Each structure stands twice: as C-alpha cells, then as structure tokens.
C-alpha cells in the first residue's frame, strides 16, 4: 500500500462494489474537510488505469462537491487485497456508524461477492461485526437485504423502526411497497399497530382474492382525507371481521345506554371468546361500594345486562 494524491477524475464512481449505506447528508463531513482537509484518507484499489473505491465514499464525494482536483489516499494494488479484505476495511472504517441494515448489506456482500458459505459467515463474519453466531441471526439479517430503496431511506431517516422494517420483510415485494407507500407516509404507527395492520391487510386481500393496494384504497376512500390511523384500523377490522365488527357496534351502543359511572367498567373477552362479562369496580368508601352495588342491581333486573349478554353470546358463536 502506498499513500498517493489521486486525481478525482481517475476514480471509478460507477463501481459501487463496496458501497454500503445511504445517500445521507454529508454536511458535518463537509465542514470538517473545509476546515481541516482530509484527515482520514480513503482506501482505493488500483484497477487498470482507474481506482476502485473501497472505503471513504462520503469523503470523496464531499471533495468532489468542493471542487478539489485530488485527494490523499491509501492505494492498494489489485493483488494486495481480496474482496473479503476490502469488506473488512469497509466495516472497520465505518463500524461506529453501521446500522443493522448496513450490517445486512455487508453480510450479503460477504456471501455473494466473496462466495463465502453460511457456516463460515456464522463462525467468522457475524462475531466480527457484533452479531451472535447463529443461523437464525444470519437468516434474519439476510431477509433485510431485499428491501426497496424507499424503505431503506426511510429507515436511515428514522421514519420507520428496525422492528417495522423486519415486519415489512415478511411481505412480498409488490405488496410491501403498497403497504409502505400508502400507510407509512400517512400514519405514525408503533410496532404493534404495524404488525396488526399488515396481518389484517394480507388476510383481507387473500380472502377476497384482491390486491393489498385495492384494500388500502377502499379503506382510504371510506375514511376520507382527514381520517387518522384509528379510523383506518376500524374500517380494516370491519373488513377483516365483519360479523364481529357488527357485534362490537351493537355492544358499544347497548353499553352506552347504561350511563356507567366512571368507577365501573364492564368488559368482554377479546374477540368475544366467551359468553361472560367482567366488571371492575373502584371505590374509596363502603358507602360508595353500596351505591355501586345498588346501581348494578338495578341494571341487572331491568333487562339491560341480559341484553348485553345476548350480544356477547352472538359474538361468541
């Protein structure tokens, strides 16, 4: 390896063999290079009359943007570094900034660029980059490598969590983009909401033999432009469970007629998986308990409770 001042025009910007990561903003790097020049030279590999960029893409792009003619670099001959060596350079040069998706892409390159088998990657590569040496971890990270650029950039911009990205990898490509493009740009979802929406969208589309996009379009037309995620989830649930949704509406209507005091709660089991009700009470005195019990006795004898139980039994069938 030699340190040389390499002309930027001699760099092969079309060769993205060792490019890993996003096209994120380089403002901080630009300020540093403007003030101090290039402190950490990029690593290059000579390839004929051109230079292949191993690591330092961001520094190089900033220098290009600033109008520099050349950049100090560590230059290797082609036979000095294998592709495996180059990928190790990439990791050690960027390990403090590597995200899980970056690690997934790195593993992918170790596998397919270097031709390493799974056992070697599990034993040698995963521990090197800070991942437990298990086949399950390898398979999990490999599932992240087929993500579309829109999802990757949203992850790098912290618009979606890693957990949400993993959930999206379980969906086929065209359906994944339909879900991501129509829902994630519109609603801020937590991981549980994401899991529920994806599961129910796929179930409705499969049952009705239609596309996920058509299901989403139908729901969005129902809730209108001002509808939020709760309205979206409500309509989706009614599509997924039409009978239970009707029972739920009847249940809420009947319960609202009770005019329950705030210190009484009446609950049914999830999905009406039973024909009973649960009552929860809050009281701070024996007098208040007596009032609550008197109220409950009145609704038990006027037929209101029996009506509510009949609705629950209908949902349980």
**What is the pLDDT averaged over residues 304-317?**
76
pLDDT at 27: 62
Tokens representing 138 are 């390898």
Mean pLDDT of the residues in the chain: 88
Query: What is the span of the domain harbouring residue 158?
Result: 149-240
Tell me how many domains the chain contains. Answer: 4
Question: Is there a single domain that holds both residue 118 and residue 198?
Answer: no
Q: What percent of the chain has pLDDT over 90?
A: 52
Counting Cβ atoms within 10 Å, is residue 56 exposed (0-12), middle (13-18) or buried (19+)?
Answer: buried
Residue 149 reports pLDDT greater than 90: no
Q: At what angle do helices 229-240 and 242-256 cross, to 10 degrees?
A: 120
In this model, does residue 155 exceed pLDDT 70?
Answer: yes
When pLDDT is averaged across residues 66-84 and rounded to a whole number, the result is 94
Does 88 lie in the same domain as 108? Answer: no
CATH number of the structural domain spanning residue 25? 3.90.1530.10
From 79, 114, 146, give the residue that closes a domain.
146
The Cα 215–Cα 192 span in angstroms is: 20
pLDDT at 2: 92
pLDDT of residue 29: 77
Whether 73 shows a pLDDT value over 60: the answer reads yes
> Band of the pLDDT at 152, cuts 50, 70, 90?
confident
- Look at residue 305 in the predicted model and tell me its pLDDT: 85
Residues 33 and 69 in one domain: yes
């Amino acid at each position: 390896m030699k340190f040389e001042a390499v002309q930027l025009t001699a760099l092969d910007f079309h060769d993205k063999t060792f490019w890993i990561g996003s096209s994120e903003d380089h403002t901080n790097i630009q300020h540093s290079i403007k003030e101090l020049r290039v402190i950490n030279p990029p690593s290059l590999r000579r390839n004929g009359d051109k230079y292949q960029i191993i690591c330092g893409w961001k520094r190089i792009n900033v220098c290009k943007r600033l109008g520099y003619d050349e950049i100090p670099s560590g230059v290797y001959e082609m036979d000095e570094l294998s592709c495996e060596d180059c990928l190790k350079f990439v990791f050690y040069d960027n390990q403090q900034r590597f995200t899980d998706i970056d690690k997934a892409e790195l593993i992918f390159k170790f596998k397919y660029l270097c031709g390493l088998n799974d056992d070697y990657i599990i034993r040698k590569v995963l521990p090197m980059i800070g991942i437990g040496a298990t086949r399950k971890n390898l398979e999990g990270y490999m599932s992240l490598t087929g993500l579309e650029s829109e999802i990757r950039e949203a992850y790098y911009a912290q618009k979606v969590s890693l957990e949400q990205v993993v959930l999206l990898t379980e969906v086929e490509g065209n359906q994944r983009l339909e879900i991501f493009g129509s829902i994630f740009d519109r609603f801020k979802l937590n991981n549980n909401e994401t899991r529920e929406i994806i599961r129910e969208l796929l179930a409705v589309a499969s049952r009705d033999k239609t596309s996920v996009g058509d299901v989403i379009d139908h729901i969005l037309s129902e809730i209108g432009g001002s509808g939020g995620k709760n309205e979206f989830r409500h309509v989706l649930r009614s599509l997924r469970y039409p009978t239970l949704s009707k029972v739920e509406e009847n249940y809420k209507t009947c319960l609202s007629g009770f005019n329950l005091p705030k210190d009484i709660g009446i609950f049914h089991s999830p999905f009406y998986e039973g024909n009973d009700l649960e009552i929860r009470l809050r009281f701070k005195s024996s007098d208040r308990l007596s009032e609550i019990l008197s109220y409950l006795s009145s609704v038990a004898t006027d037929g209101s409770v029996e009506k509510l139980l009949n609705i629950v039994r209908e949902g349980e069938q």
